Amino acid sequence: MPDALFCHCRAGFEPELAAELTERAASLGHAGYARTERGSGFVEFICDEATQLARQLPFASLIFARQKLLRLAELRGFDPKDRIGPILAVLDTAVRRRDSEPFGDLWVEHPDSDDARPLSGLARSFGNALRPALRKAGWLTAREDARLPRLHVVFLAGDHLVLGRSHPGDSAPWPQGIARLRMHPQAPSRSALKLEEALLTLLDEDERSELLREGLTGADLGAAPGGWTWVMLHHGLHMTAVDNGPLRAHLFDDGRLEHLRADGFRWQPEGTLDWMVCDMVEQPRRVAERMASWLREGWCRQTIFNLKLPMKKRWDETRLCLDLFAKQVGGPVDIRARQLYHDREEITVFARRK
């Protein structure tokens, strides 16, 4: 079986991820092809040097992938009464030739799709059975070890699974790449979950400590009813919410919020803010251009914003908007983008000047 990358994604966005992987692989000199079905929740990119491609294509650089795995093997048609035996056999043959070190953790998963969701119970129970068998065979450490690769078992059906490997430093830290966050009772809207996930996904721990602390300043463009404003206030920032609509009254309780009834696309601050965040429903190119002006003019030091994608040619629009944004900023700029679990027809972007 040829090597492959196996990537989880949002169901319905398989063509976008397939196009992204194909284009990115070609730019790195790798010939291959993407294999997927719309609605499946995953894409496989088949190529002869997938191990090398996995090293050259960091997970953090992918936009439409929730998780990136190196596919080790695909098993199908086995007896559902003995799923462990075929897995151990594959590990002792194909995988042993590549790398004999044990895995530091085991994740048993399924794609996040309508067809695969009924497999969640099987995945949960099978993980409990497989884990001790792997330890007995020497394939899994006695305790979780984040320094070692993870073993992934991804069920596509009861008698069809994919074995994959990920490295903790080059993959999502959650099974299926899904950050399952709980809605805080004080959050004004569910959109708060998008920004919370973005801060966990697009910033590392050191950056969150440095950039999200008391005393910093920020603005939320198109803030009403205040979901993103609430997140930034929760991190200790002093915020200016810019929107003609009303905000939830409790956001004003600690005195760190100013509400300006103004157009978020026209308003600009008198001095430099630490943050600008924006989740306005608007044409993505118009948003990209306006967000770029905030960095170019020095109105903020960093920004997180959403780009609402069209129904067709979403990968093309993504590339166009991000290229337009970088060009409009001018000079070196750090851009990180991802379609988050809590996003829908959109991607979330973090950017700051280098």
Q: Which of 173, 166, 159 is closest to 81 using CA atoms?
A: 159
243 known ligand binder = yes
> Could you tell me which residues are beta bridge partners of residue 305?
278, 349
Distance of CA 39 to the CA centre of its chain: 18
Strand ranges for 132-249 from DSSP E? 150-157, 160-166, 217-221, 238-242
- Whole-angstrom Cα distance, residue 134 to residue 52? 27
- Torsional class of 29: left (φ above 0), alpha (ψ -120 to 50), beta (otherwise): left
Three-state secondary-structure class, residue 130: helix
User: Encoding tokens for residue 228?
Assistant: 């993103």
Which residues are catalytic, by number? 308
Residue 330, annotated as binding a ligand: no
Quote the tokens at residue 101.
Answer: 């070190």
Sequence-ordered alpha helix ranges (H) in the chain: 14-27, 50-56, 84-90, 96-98, 120-136, 191-202, 205-211, 227-234, 284-296, 314-329
| CA-based end-to-end distance of the chain | 43
Q: Which residues pair with 306 in a beta bridge?
A: 348
173 is in an annotated binding site: no
- Asked whether residue 337 is marked as a ligand-binding residue, the answer is no
225 known ligand binder: yes
- What is the CA 144 to chain-centroid distance, rounded? 23
Binding residue per annotation — 264?
no
Please indicate if the annotation marks 86 as binding a ligand.
Answer: no
CB 229 within 8 A of CB 220: yes
Is 263 annotated as a binding-site member?
A: yes
Can you say which residues are annotated as belonging to the binding site?
A: 191, 224-227, 243, 263, 279
Can you say which residues are annotated as belonging to the binding site for S-adenosyl-L-methionine?
A: 191, 224-227, 243, 263, 279
